[in-house]
Structures are given as structure tokens and as C-alpha cells.
Amino acid sequence: MLNIVLFGPPGAGKGTQSTKLIDRYSLVHLSTGDIFRANIKGQTELGVLAKSFIDQGQLVPDEVTINMLSAEVKKNPNAKGFIFDGFPRTSAQAAALDALLESMNSSISLMLALEVEEEELKRRLLLRGKDSGRADDQDPAVIQKRIDVYNAETFPVRDYYLAQNKYKGVNGIGEVEAIFTALCDQIDAKANS
Ligand code: AMP
């Protein structure tokens, strides 16, 4: 299996690049943010719970997020591999993902990180908020909170994969196509190694 964690702060371009990568490599795309938003739309119990955190720019608790992600992985027993987009966001989530994949005799192949500086992230998120209708992209205070949470809780997850020699950083500023090529180069190098 080819299992990729697409990593980076809010607004780094994970969603855009995931869409392109799943086409190229025939992978299943699991975006925890998208799944939460679908639950909010469907007014499920999970959606109501998740909304209370998302609206404040906070992370949904680990236990809830890990259970949801595990269920989604198990819904795809024949997948060639997964792109995990927006997960793991904490060290506990990273450890849970390793345990889950190990139970399937699999593992993470690579963490690809989109590197974008903070001012550019804020600019992109406010721009996206105008089109997407996402409330959490429209309020500068919520955007700042999400970036702060990323720096405090999510950025350290990088070390988890660095220690396993699986971390690769890619410049996330520039043309979408050029960034996509850089990501594919990393994946192909890993697949051929
Ligand atoms: P995203 O679409 O990835 O920007 O996620 C939107 C929001 O969903 C985040 O700000 C969090 O509140 C929540 N969320 C998404 N993924 C996770 C996760 N792995 N752990 C906790 N909360 C998450």
C-alpha cells in the first residue's frame, strides 16, 4: 500500500493537492475536515459535537477523531492506499494511525509537508472564506486560533515522522502544477527506493 500523510498548516493547499494526487496514484482520500463538515451538514450527533470545536478554531478531541478515522479506513478494505489529509494533527493521532495500519499489516509510506509562511496562509484562508462559505475561514480571530493550534499541537507531529525518516518538506508557494510535480517526485522517489 501507498499511504501518504499530507501535512501542513490550514491554507497550505492540502485539499487541492490531495484531489490531484488521488487521481494520479488511485488512492482513497480521507480528509477529516471534509468528513466533519459532511456530518455537520447532515446534522449527525458527530457533526453537532464537531461544530462546537470547529467554530472556535479548536481541534475536535482525539478520541472522537481517531474513532471516526478508523471507521473510514475500515470502510475501504480494498484500497491501494490512502491520502490522509488533515490527520494526524496530534502526536496521539499519529500513534493511533500507526497502530491501525499495523493491524492491517501496513504503514505510513511518507509524510509530505506543504511549507507556507503564516502571512500567506492568512491571505489564502480569507480569500477561500469568500467562496467556500466556511465560517472558520471568514473570521480573522478563528484563523489565528487555528494557526496557533497548528503551531502548538500539530507542528510537533513532524518530529514523529522525522524520527522514522519519513518526512519530506515541499515548498507550498507557487503554481499548483509545480507544487504537484514536486510532490509526485517525492512519491516516485520513495516508490522506487
Ligand atoms: P480542515 O478542513 O482540515 O482545515 O479542518 C477543519 C477543522 O476540523 C479543524 O480546524 C478542526 O477543528 C477539525 N479537524 C479536522 N481534522 C482534525 C483532526 N485530525 N483532529 C482534530 N480536529 C480536526
> For 70-80, how does the pLDDT look when each residue is reduced to its tens digit (9 = 90+)?
999 999 999 99
> For 120-155, how does the pLDDT look when each residue is reduced to its tens digit (9 = 90+)?
999 999 999 998 888 899 999 999 999 999 999 999
Three-state secondary structure along the chain? CCCEEEECCCCCCHHHHHHHHHHHHCCEEEEHHHHHHHHHHCCCHHHHHHHHHHCCCCCCCHHHHHHHHHHHHHCCCCCCCEEEECCCCCHHHHHHHHHHHHHCCCCCCEEEEEECCHHHHHHHHHHHHHHHCCHHHCCHHHHHHHHHHHHHHHCCHHHHHHCCCCEEEEECCCCHHHHHHHHHHHHHHHHCC
The model's pTM is 0.96
Catalytic residues: 14, 89, 128, 134, 146
* Residue to probe by mutation, ligand 1, list 14, 34, 39, 54, most atoms within 8 Å of CB: 54
What residues are in contact with ligand 1 under a 6 Å CB criterion?
10, 32-33, 36, 53-54, 57-60, 65, 86-87, 89, 93, 136, 146
Band the pLDDT of 13: cuts 50, 70, 90.
very high
Complete domains list, the chain, with CATH:
2-191 (3.40.50.300)
Residue bearing the CA closest to ligand 1, atom 11: 59
